[in-house]
Amino acid sequence: MLRYGSRMESNWLFAALIGIVAGFLSGLFGIGGGVVIVPAFVLLLQLDQYRAAATSVATIVVTAAAALITFTVTATGDEQINWAAAVIVFSGSAVGAVVGARYLERIPEYVLTGVFALVMAAGAARMLL
Amino acid sequence: MIEIFGFIVLGLVTGSLAVSLGVGGGIIIVPALVTVFAFGQHEAIGTSLAIIVPTAAVSALAHHRAGRVLWKLAALVGFAGVIGAVAGVNVALAMEPDLLKRLFAVLLAALSIRMALRARRLYVASRSLDGS
């Protein structure tokens, strides 16, 4: 952490750049931006995987909130947010996040990333075809 | 009723992924809403953001308790991200939903390949640790 801390002052520009790119992707695609933030933290700012993931979700709260507010103000007609669906999915994801934080460390990381890769590949295929 | 059950399962999966991988979950939520629940692309983007904000907050709190969040860095990246986010939403809403969907699918495909390679690397590393 100190190693990172000493690099921080000289790397604030990297941090701002990561934020702008991740924020743009967040607003454009409706994602949090963690897929950009986590690797950028690890590669550019030398954070370890755990701090990178933890700091990434804290970052996402801010950027996704900005995207959400902008979207709510700007969207019209059938572009608008399905709040009922959002509330129900969140009720599941809140439980998933709390339980996951406690127990997921027991599952090997390659299993998690492997499953994640498969789900994304399936999604990509269905959206392209 | 089945749809509500599906939404809850989607939430459980994305919440646990979000906390373990440090992502918001949008890369699972958006394709799921579009392909499984027949949402329009724009509707899916907005709804995904509405799910991500509180999910990431819960996730960040869990990590904070474990003392892993670098708050100064998070604030800096987050506030820079606001600029990008406002621009991103405006570009998204100005784009044809179908083009947006295809672009997103390309991003997903690229990310899934990267994730698969990472999974393989981690697997190999864990094997060699067991062997030694």
| Digitized pLDDT (tens) for each residue of chain A, 129 residues in all | 445 544 555 578 899 999 999 999 999 999 999 889 988 998 899 888 888 989 999 999 999 999 999 999 999 988 899 999 999 999 999 998 888 877 777 888 888 888 888 888 999 998 988
Question: A with B: how many residue pairs have Cβ under 8 Å apart?
Answer: 426
Query: Do residue B78 and residue A113 have CB atoms under 8 angstroms apart?
Result: no
The reply to whether residue A31 touches residue B84, judged by beta carbons under 8 angstroms, is no
pLDDT score of B132 more than 60:
no
User: Who among A66, A70, A90 is closest to B51 (CB)?
Assistant: A90
- Model confidence pLDDT, tens digit, residues B76-131: 999 999 999 999 999 999 999 999 999 999 999 999 999 899 899 999 998 887 65
Q: CB burial class (10 A; 0-12, 13-18, 19+) of residue B104?
A: buried
B31-82 pLDDT per residue, tens: 999 999 999 999 999 999 999 999 999 889 988 998 889 999 999 999 999 9
According to DSSP H, which parts of A9-48 are helical? 12-29, 34-45
Tell whether the torsion through CA atoms of B111, A101, A105 and B77 is positive or negative: positive
Q: Which two tokens stand for residue A86?
A: 């959002």
pLDDT of residue A1: 42
**Percent composition of chain B: helix, strand, coil (DSSP 3-state, to 5):** 85, 0, 15
Residues B13-42, mean pLDDT to the nearest whole number = 88
What is the reported pLDDT for B2?
86
Query: Which residues, 6+ apart, have CB-to-CB distance to A49 below 8 Å?
Result: A38, A42
For residue A10, the model assigns a pLDDT of: 56
Distance from CA of B131 to the nearest CA of A (A): 16
CB atoms inside a 10 Å sphere around CB A69? 16
- pLDDT at position A119 is 86
